[in-house]
Amino acid sequence: MSSIPVGKGIPVDHVVDNTAEHPGERAPLVLNMHEFNDVTTTVCRVAESRRVPMAWYVAFVFSLGLLGFLGFCIAYLFATGVGVWGLNNPVMWAFDITNFVFWVGIGHAGTLISAILFLFRQKWRTGINRFAEAMTIFAVICAGIFPGIHVGRVWVIYWVFPIPNQMEMWPQFRSPLLWDVFAVSTYFTVSLLFWYTGMVPDLATLRDRARGKIRQIGYGLFALGWRGSNRHWHRYERAYLLLAALSTPLVLSVHSVVSFDFAVSQLPGWHTTIFPPYFVAGAIFSGFAMVVTLAVPARELFGLKDLITLRHLDNMNKIILVTGSMVGYAYSIEFFIAWYSGAMYEKFAFLNRAFGQYWWAYFIMVSCNVITPQLFWFKRIRTSIWGMFILSLIVNIGMWFERFVIIVSSLANDFLPTSWDVFIPTWVDIGTMIGSFGLFMTLFLLFCRYLPMIAMAEVKAVMPEADPHHDDHASDAKDEEGGANS
Partner 1 sequence: MTTLSNTPDKLQSSSASRTRCYGMMAEFATPGEIMKAAEKVRAAGYRWWDCHTPFPVHGLDNAMGISPTILPVFVFFAGLTGTMIAFGLQAFTNATDWSIWAFVWVTGYPFLISGKPLLSVPAFIPVMFELTILLSALTTFGLMFLLNGLPRLHHPLFTSNRFLRASDDRFFIVIEARDPRFRRQATRDFLEGLSPIAVEEVLDT
User: Per CB under 8 A, which of residues 174..213 are in contact with partner 1?
Assistant: 174, 176, 178-179, 182-183, 186, 189-190, 193-194, 196-197, 201, 204-205, 207-209
* Whole-number Å distance between alpha carbons of 347 and 341: 8
Cβ closer to partner 1: 178 or 326? 178
**Site stretch for partner 1 (CB under 8 A), options 144-152, 171-179, 386-394, 421-429:** 171-179
Q: Report angle CA 68, 254, 129 to the nearest 5 degrees.
A: 70
Binding mask 237-256 for partner 1 (x = CB under 8 A): xxx--xx--xx-xx--x---
**Burial of 214 from C-beta contacts in 10 A (0-12 / 13-18 / 19+):** exposed
* Under rule CB under 8 A, residue 265 binds partner 1: no
Check residue 467 for interaction with partner 1 (CB under 8 A): yes
Give the contacts of 314 (CB within 8 A, at least 6 positions apart): 19, 379, 382, 383
Does residue 485 interact with partner 1 by CB under 8 A? no
C-alpha–C-alpha distance, residues 295 and 109, integer Å: 13
Decide: is 125 part of the binding site for partner 1 (CB under 8 A).
no
Q: Is 263 in the site for partner 1 (CB under 8 A)?
A: no
Is residue 461 a contact residue for partner 1 (CB under 8 A)? yes
Member of 11, 68, 83, 162 binding partner 1 (CB under 8 A): 162
Q: Segment contacting partner 1 (CB under 8 A): 83-91, 98-106, 320-328, 455-463?
A: 455-463
| Nearby residues of 149 by Cβ (< 8 Å), 6 or more positions away | 74, 77, 78, 96, 432
Question: CA 238 → CA 196, 231, 233, 454, distances in Å?
Answer: 15, 11, 8, 21
Identified binder of partner 1 from the candidate list 16, 50, 79, 164, rule CB under 8 A: 164
Q: How far is the CB of 212 from partner 1 (least distance, A)?
A: 15
User: What does the alpha-carbon distance between residue 94 and residue 101 come to, in Å, rounded to a whole number?
Assistant: 11
Min. distance of Cβ 402 from partner 1 in angstroms? Answer: 23
Question: Which region, judged by CB under 8 A, interacts with partner 1, from 274-282, 331-339, 432-440, 463-471?
Answer: 463-471
3-state SS string for 6-28: CCCCCCHHHCCCCCCCCCCCCCC
Q: 171 or 356, CB closer to partner 1?
A: 171
Could you say whether residue 267 binds partner 1 (CB under 8 A)? no
Q: Which residue from 460, 478, 484, 486 is in contact with partner 1, where contact means CB under 8 A?
A: 460
- Binders of partner 1 among 401-430, rule CB under 8 A? none
Q: Is 121 in the site for partner 1 (CB under 8 A)?
A: no
End-to-end CA distance of the chain: 33
* Rounded Cα distance, 301 and 429, in Å: 33
Indicate whether 351 belongs to the interface with partner 1 (CB under 8 A). Answer: no
Q: Which x/- pattern, by CB under 8 A, does the window 13-52 give for partner 1?
A: ----------------------xxx--x------------
Distances (CA, A) of 425 to 83, 202, 416, 430: 11, 45, 23, 7
- Which residue number, 75 or 245, has a Cβ lying nearer to partner 1? 245
Q: Is 235 in the site for partner 1 (CB under 8 A)?
A: yes
> With respect to partner 1, which residue has the nearer C-beta, 248 or 432?
248
Candidates 73-81, 226-234, 361-369, 405-413 — which segment interacts with partner 1 by CB under 8 A?
A: 226-234
Please state, in angstroms and rounded to a whole number, the distance separating the CA atoms of residues 484 and 334.
38
State the Cα–Cα distance between residues 265 and 260, nearest whole angstrom: 8
CA distance linking residue 128 with residue 313, whole number of Å: 9
Count interface residues toward partner 1 (CB under 8 A).
74
Closest approach of partner 1 to the CB of residue 226, in Å: 7
Pick between residue 4 and residue 393 the one whose CB is nearest to partner 1. Answer: 4
Does the protein bind partner 1 through residue 138 (CB under 8 A)? no
Tell whether the torsion through CA atoms of 74, 434, 54 and 48 is positive or negative: positive
Residue 333 as a binder of partner 1 (CB under 8 A): the answer is no
Pick 71 or 225: Cβ nearer partner 1: 225
8 A C-beta contact, residue 435 and residue 110 = no
464 near partner 1, judged by CB under 8 A: no
Determine the Cα–Cα distance for residues 288 and 396; give it in Å rounded to an integer: 9
The CA distance from 252 to 341, in Å, is 27
Contacts of 233 (CB under 8 A, 6+ apart): none
Residue closer to partner 1 by CB (options 218, 297) is 218
Residues 48-107 close enough to bind partner 1 by CB under 8 A: none
Distances (CA, A) of 262 to 177, 265, 266, 272: 9, 6, 8, 8
- 152 makes contact with partner 1 (CB under 8 A): no
Least distance (Å) from partner 1 to the CB of residue 170?
A: 4
SS3 87: coil
